[in-house]
Amino acid sequence: MLDTSKKHQLSVRFTPDQLRLIDEVAALRGCDRPEAIRHVVQFGAPLILKLQGVNLNRILMVLEILVVDCLRKTGEADAKAIEVLVESAAKNVRQYHV
């Protein structure tokens, strides 16, 4: 078992697309590549482990259906309501997901 009290060096090869993603994370976080990779591991690994039985495509499909249905119903009720709905959703995304 690894000694978790020490940091260990690991050599990894990345494709150009993967490296571009790492660079984007680094730019967003204002850090270097190694720190960006640590951010990706800290965030991505728990997500992968928790969502291993989740079908992300199905979740996205359900969300898209809900959005279309909600916009349709809102549009039937009041055109101004669509604007309020979109603004509220954008606010929630900024507050809870970014």
User: Tens digit of pLDDT for each residue in 54-95?
Assistant: 777 888 888 888 888 888 887 777 778 878 888 888 888 888
* Alpha-carbon gap, residue 61 to 97, rounded angstroms: 19
What was the pLDDT predicted at 40?
Answer: 93
Task: Grade residue 4 by pLDDT with cuts at 50, 70 and 90.
Answer: low
Which sign, positive or negative, has the C-alpha torsion 71, 72, 73, 74?
positive
- The domain segmentation of the chain, as residue ranges, is 1-53, 56-97
What was the pLDDT predicted at 33?
Answer: 96
Stronger pLDDT, 55 or 9, i.e. the higher one: 9
What's the pTM?
Answer: 0.52
Stronger pLDDT, 48 or 98, i.e. the higher one: 48
User: Tens digit of pLDDT for each residue in 12-48?
Assistant: 999 999 999 999 999 999 999 999 999 999 988 888 8
* Alpha-carbon gap, residue 74 to 3, rounded angstroms: 57
